[in-house]
Chain A
Amino acid sequence: MPTHRTHNSSAVPSQTAIETRGLTKRYGERRAIDGVDLRVPRGSAFGFLGPNGAGKTTMIRMLLGLTSSSDGSMSLLGHPVPADRAVALQRVGAIVEEPRFHMHLSGRENLRVVAAVRGPEARSRIVPALERVGLAERADEKVKRYSLGMRQRLGVARCLLADPLLLILDEPTNGLDPGGIQEFRWMIRAMVEQEGRTVFISSHLLDEVEKICDAAAIVDRGRVVTQGPIAELAGAGAREELILGVDDVDSALAVLAGTDTVLEAHASDGCIRVVLAFGPDTAAEVNALLVSEGVAVDRLEPVRHSLEQRFLEITSRIDDPTRQEVAA
């Protein structure tokens, strides 16, 4: 269709790896995905964050053509999907939910099966892919003897057969031990920074996304609530806070109660937690005020706002104040 072809320019590669507009998936009356506009820049690690049941896997399944969309449009690497799905997926590797294999075949044979479907050039990538994920020595063992972590790595190797410009990974660290998670993190960062690939990671593990990804979108109940660079997401709308260590907590609280620089102050675990009224630059003023009033300050630490805190604040499902306090 002509409208689709206008997007399909191989001469000028699209700057976005994934783009959706008004993407919707309905199951009867229920909207699993509700008008999602998403833009994933090329050459980045992008997190797709959301609680269980938020619609992350449904979104991935639509992008990959595993299930049809009800409305809206989407493109992968500049190619409209599903119109140019075959071309779009040539350079896309994906793990949807847990990686599944023919258990009666070896790791190498499983890759041979997928390489045969991908085309002749994929066959030459089997050995490098196995080496890349550290499975070369156990490639000839049957997959039924692999641990879950090894299957995850074999799933990544299967993705690499496409020499992917875009990797779509659904909960990729499930089943990995701490060492495996760290290795996985390094591998993803190397793919992005050294090889220029784009990695789209769906996860409910906020800490992982914060450590691996450059940018993220937060999805809840089928809607993208916010998206952008991790630092912006974590800090957006957050209050400037300090933790103060002092020799006399009561005196310090009395001093802080009398200044406009401080919006709020309360004792917490032997320290004082302060909300600044006018931004981070006023932290020095607070310190000077306390010292001038005879209160010794031995600790002055800005509170770092984590993605987790931001996530808990904005996902409508989690509105229990005690949980927000714990997250903070």
Chain B
Amino acid sequence: MNAETMVQMVGADLLKLRKKRGTLIWALVLAVGSQVVFFVVGALQHSSDPLHNAPVGGVNGLRHGLDLLCFFVGPLAAVLIGTEAGAGDSSAGVFRDLVVTGRSRLALFASRVPAALAMTVPLVTLGFAAMCAGIFLFAGSEPLPAVSTLAWCYAFALLANGLLCLVAVGLSSLLNSKPATITALIGWQLVLSPVIIGVSSLGATRELLLDAPLLHVDPVRAGHPEIAMSLIAVLVTVIAWPLVAATLGAWRTRTMDA
């Protein structure tokens, strides 16, 4: 298979995602809408009671906004996109029609990955832009973050959401079910993982969680990670999660009855 065909396949997967309006609207609400709601509500609270509510923008706003974008609501958007990319063909019943073209199943799986990322990046960018607008508009007397800090935060947001998107592509290809994948990932990332991270008796075992290295490299928590990790442990965990998910997804795509 030549590069031109692969580019066309990625373009086709991107087309499928782009035209899935319901998913796209929900992803936008989660990535961008959550930021808008957070800053608008914070600004209203500050204007109604400035003594008890600090300005929502500035450095303080960056910390909360980034948590929202990278650990709480933003990843849901990445999960929606990744799940749609991974299980969209199967759930529409179209996978078999792609298989009968004779194209390798691994190629069919591989084209989903860049398409999902290509959809996630602009969503994260829009969410980040909304956050930056809130930080500057509602800074009040709060200090503003440096441009270099914002650049690191943007890179971190892409990393955190990109990783979860890749995991979602792999897991949904493995499970062949959008509801099961979304439920499993939301339950894991938003409920179980934060709980396990907080159980200090588990010690270094917690380094296996995806949140552990992300908290370690989070620019606004720099120097105050929840779990102390070596750089190698950070790299291994960050690479292992999407790699294992993608391997399982590719295996399932290659071997399942279509």
Contacts and interface: CB of A to CB of B under 8 A. Distances in A.
Number of chain A interface residues as a range:
20 to 34
B202 interface: no
A290 to B, nearest CB: 60
Interface of B: 4-5, 8-9, 11-12, 15-16, 19-21, 88, 92-94, 96-104, 108, 257-258
A170 B88 CA distance: 23
25 contacts: A61-B257, A61-B258, A64-B96, A64-B100, A67-B257, A85-B102, A89-B101, A90-B102, A94-B100, A96-B100, A99-B97, A100-B92, A100-B96, A102-B16, A102-B19, A102-B92, A104-B20, A109-B15, A112-B12, A114-B97, A114-B101, A116-B9, A117-B5, A117-B9, A117-B12
A109 B99 contact: no
Nearest to B9: A116
Interface centre among A87, A92, A113, A162 (most CB of B within 10 A): A113
Contacts of A105: 15-16, 19
Contacts of B104: 86
Interface in A233-261: none
Nearest to B16: A102
Contact of B257 (A66, A119, A123): A66
B102 A86 contact: yes
Interface of A: 61, 64-67, 85-90, 92, 94, 96, 99-105, 109, 112-120, 123, 158, 162
Nearest to A105: B19
Contacts of A96: 96-97, 100
A88 B102 contact: yes
Q: Looking at chain B's contact residues, is the secondary structure mostly helix, strand, loop, or mixed?
A: helix
Contact of A114 (B11, B92, B98, B257): B98
B4 to A, nearest CB: 6
Given A104-B19, A116-B9, A64 B92 contact: no
A307 to B, nearest CB: 28
Given A89-B102, A96-B96, 10 more contacts: A66-B99, A66-B258, A67-B258, A85-B102, A86-B102, A101-B92, A102-B94, A113-B15, A116-B5, A123-B8
Interface centre among B5, B9, B100 (most CB of A within 10 A): B100
B15 A120 contact: no
A130 to B, nearest CB: 17
Contacts of B12: 112-113, 116-117
A167 to B, nearest CB: 11
B92 A117 contact: no
Contacts of B103: 86, 117-118
Contacts of B9: 116-117
Nearest to A86: B102
A236 B169 CA distance: 56
A86 B99 CA distance: 10
A89 to B, nearest CB: 3
B96 A103 contact: no
A100 B100 CA distance: 13
B101 A104 contact: no
A90 B15 CA distance: 23
A4 to B, nearest CB: 16
Given A100-B92, A100-B93, A118 B101 contact: yes
Contacts of B20: 104
Contacts of A94: 97, 100
